[in-house]
Amino acid sequence: MTRRKVPLRDVASARTGDKGDIACISVWVYDPRDYEDVKASLTAERVAAAYPALWRGRVERHELPQLYGLNFVMHDALEGGVNASLNLDMHGKSFSFLLLTLDVEVSRP
Amino acid sequence: MADPEKGYDPRIERRLGAVLAACVKHRTTIVSNMGAANPRAAGRLTVELARRMGLRIRVAVVQGDDLTRTVTPATALPELGKTVAEHGLRVVGANAYLGADAILAALDHEPHVILTGRVADPSLFVAPLAHRFGWKADDWHHLGAATAIGHLLECSTQVTGGYFADPPYKTVPDIAFLGFPLAEVEGDATGIVTKLDGTGGLVSEHTVKEQLMYEVHDPRAYLTPDVTADFSQARVSQEAKDRVRISGVTGRTRPEKLKAIIGFDGGLLAEAEFSYAGPGAGSRAELAVSILRERLERIHRCQEIVRLDLIGVNALHGTAGNWTPAYAGATSDVRLRAAMRTHDRAMAETLLEEVESLWLSGPAGGGGYRGKLTPSVSTQAIYVDRSAIELAVEVMQS
């Protein structure tokens, strides 16, 4: 089967929440047929390595297969958190769209 | 407190004024955490508002979340591995997150309005459900399931199409007039999230899923004062247009301790902005950045961390390292932003003055200076014994 690379935004949505210096980004695959491919592409290691200057700590991934969702918990990821960050977006709410720029490999044509 | 009659959410008068008469008439109890840092003053204001509206009501004020007087220099801050004294910052206040039990104690007085200070958001919804269905305080399954319902409702329109639109992938109908969510809950704590007909937005499996995991870490263990809720086996199903059933959620024993937040004097956040537009805007803005860097370092001997963003080029995602200076050259409308956090007011003012001086001493054609100093509070979480809470419900009458 031919596989192709697509931006994650083509196949999934994401929403960010924050707690202290921890960002959590949930990813929701639109078409259930893409879920296993996204899960294989978007590992915790891959996310941790994507923007190391910004997402500096460990990344955990939780799976919600019945909802076609993945939840990433990223430690030391908010430049100190809402009370310390100098980022205009001190909650890191826009970081979901950093994740959505990553490529994933899907097999569905 | 600086003013004993303030400290609550100032929007309370307008919001209660809009719905109080209808709620009293239909015997709908209002439960709100708009008491914020001063629920008693909020209660007095509400009684006074009801009198002016010619309504006879009972207001139950929930107190006990304020732990400011229990914080000592020896209080340990687990996130830092230091004591309050070692942290070295002035304590502004400390509040615990109360749970549904505090609101249930107020519901026993059959009030028209319940006002609380800090309460875990889902508990505002769990308490009325537990009151109506008679769940026990250790009925973990029902409390866990009800916590999911409360969690879905607590951010208002974030479940009805707010914070969702990303055209063309996700579109939201009538987005300027989003309906508020409501839930129809059964005695088994499953329920349907929906909104009123004729309002904008949508309730779909997708909007519910995005909100279900919002600010959640491990879906098996969403901790509240009431329960360790388990969202990991949650099911969502669209039963009709704008009607989504949530089921499959359960819970386990509640956390032993309560989370509390200590607020410290976080100094000042200094922010200043200046814009460049037209041909070469990006290059001129980058020149302004280098001027600021040199002057802060060599003239002012600034030791603070200063962040310099080019809004429109590399601001929110600038620190992710995925942009190139070449991109700045392509922009024709860019806003320079300088930001610093400091306890040194003189240095904070210096940052603003340096950006303002770009009017006279910076690159050509800049404009639109704004500068602002914002006092900030930094926070640390602590975990306290439940016995540290002296819960008190005060009933006021109009």
pLDDT digits (tens, 9 = 90+) for A22-38: 999 999 999 999 999 99
The whole-angstrom separation of Cα B315 and Cα B273 is 12
Q: Is A6 a member of any domain?
A: no
Instruction: Please indicate if any CB of chain B lies within 8 Å of the CB of A36.
Output: no
- B355-383 in b/e form (b: 16+ CB < 10 A) is beebeeebbeebeebebebeebebbbebe
Give residue for tokens 């939780």. Answer: A62
Burial class for B49, CB neighbours closer than 10 Å (0-12, 13-18, 19+): buried
Q: In 3-state terms, chain A is what percent helix, strand and coil (to 5)?
A: 30, 35, 40
Assigned token pair, B251:
């819970």
Rg (chain B; Cα; Å): 25
Give residue for tokens 């304020």. Answer: B66
Contact residues on chain A for B375, CB-CB shorter than 8 A: none
Q: For strands B113-115 and B30-32, give the pairing.
A: parallel
DSSP per-residue string spanning B344-392: -HHHHHHHHHHHHTHHHHSSTT-EEEEEEEEEEEEEEEEEE-GGG---E
Cα separations (Å) of A52 from A47, B14, B117?
9, 46, 39
Instruction: Please indicate if any CB of chain B lies within 8 Å of the CB of A54.
Output: yes
The whole-angstrom separation of Cα A58 and Cα B341 is 26
pLDDT (0 to 100) of residue B88: 96
List pLDDT tens digits, range B59-95.
999 999 999 999 999 999 999 999 999 999 999 999 9
| Residue A35 and residue A29 in contact, taking contact as beta carbons nearer than 8 Å | yes
pLDDT (0 to 100) of residue B326: 55
- Which of A13, A24, A54 is facing B217, going by the closest CB pair? A24
Say if the Cβ atoms of A84 and B378 lie within 8 Å. Answer: yes
The phi and psi torsions of A89 (rounded to 5 degrees) equal -95, 75
List pLDDT tens digits, range A56-77.
999 999 999 999 999 999 999 9
- Which of A73, A88, A95 is facing B217, going by the closest CB pair? A73
| Residue A25 and residue A16 in contact, taking contact as beta carbons nearer than 8 Å | yes
Question: pLDDT class for B3, splitting at 50, 70, 90?
Answer: confident
pLDDT (0 to 100) of residue B328: 60
The minimum CA-CA distance between B21 and chain A, rounded to whole Å, is 36
Q: Is A59 a member of any domain?
A: yes
Say if the Cβ atoms of B266 and A83 lie within 8 Å. Answer: yes
Domain boundaries, chain B: 139-252, 265-379
3-class DSSP assignment, residue B53:
coil
Q: Count Cβ atoms below 10 Å from residue B72 Cβ, excluding itself.
A: 10
Q: What is the DSSP-derived secondary structure letter of residue B267?
A: E
- Which of B169, B307, B381 is facing A9, going by the closest CB pair? B169
Element (H, E) at B145: helix B140-153
Say if the Cβ atoms of B311 and A79 lie within 8 Å. Answer: no
List pLDDT tens digits, range B280-308.
999 999 999 999 999 999 999 999 999 99
pLDDT (0 to 100) of residue A99: 96
Alpha-helical segments (H) within chain A: 8-11, 35-41, 44-50, 96-99
pLDDT reading at B167 higher than 80:
yes
DSSP per-residue string spanning B3-35: -TT--S-TTHHHHHHHHHHHHHHTTPPEEE-TT
Total domains present in chain A: 1
Instruction: Please indicate if any CB of chain A lies within 8 Å of the CB of B169.
Output: yes
Contact residues on chain A for B211, CB-CB shorter than 8 A: 15
Say if the Cβ atoms of A66 and B233 lie within 8 Å. Answer: yes
At the topology level of CATH, where does B265-379 sit?
Alpha-Beta Plaits (3.30.70)
Instruction: Please indicate if any CB of chain B lies within 8 Å of the CB of A49.
Output: no
Q: Is A96 a member of any domain?
A: yes
The whole-angstrom separation of Cα B175 and Cα B156 is 14
Instruction: Please indicate if any CB of chain B lies within 8 Å of the CB of A65.
Output: no
Amino acid at B325: P
Q: In 3-state terms, chain B is what percent helix, strand and coil (to 5)?
A: 30, 30, 40
pLDDT (0 to 100) of residue B321: 82
ipTM rounded to 2 decimals: 0.97
The whole-angstrom separation of Cα B271 and Cα A1 is 53
Say if the Cβ atoms of B169 and A94 lie within 8 Å. Answer: no
Cα separations (Å) of B265 from A73, B8, B198, B270, B336?
28, 20, 46, 15, 28
Q: What is the DSSP-derived secondary structure letter of residue B200?
A: B
Give me chain B's average pLDDT, please.
96
Give me chain A's average pLDDT, please.
95
Instruction: Please indicate if any CB of chain A lies within 8 Å of the CB of B374.
Output: no
Question: pLDDT class for B5, splitting at 50, 70, 90?
Answer: confident
Chain A residue with minimum CA distance to B272: A88
DSSP per-residue string spanning B150-185: HHHHTTGGGGTTTTT-BTTTB--TTGGGBPPEEEEE
- Domain of A94 in residue numbering reads as 14-103
Report percent pLDDT > 90 for chain B: 94
